[in-house]
Amino acid sequence: MIGLKEKLISEINKIEDEKLLKYLLETIAFESDTITPFKLSDEQRMMVEEAREQYKRGEFMTDEQAHRLTEEWLRKR
């Protein structure tokens, strides 16, 4: 595993593109949960919390159900 990390660090050191470096940092931070990659307003945080509670109560659709509902909606238009 150390060899892989060293190779990754070496490749990152060669990158000059600042946008790519920012993207890599955000990706790593998101995966390691060290920073929040998105800044949410209080209202957005409340909506996320509400959605989590709905999920815990089983109030959600599967992908298949959502696709079927979307297809039906599109046919009616």
Instruction: Tell me which residue of 39, 40, 11, 43 sits closest to 24, measured CA to CA.
Output: 11
pLDDT per position as a tens digit, 34-66:
555 568 899 999 999 999 999 999 999 999 999
| d(C-alpha 11, C-alpha 6), whole Å | 9
Mean pLDDT, rounded, of the chain:
89
User: Which one-letter DSSP state was computed for residue 16?
Assistant: -
Whether the predicted model's global pTM rises above the 0.75 cut: no
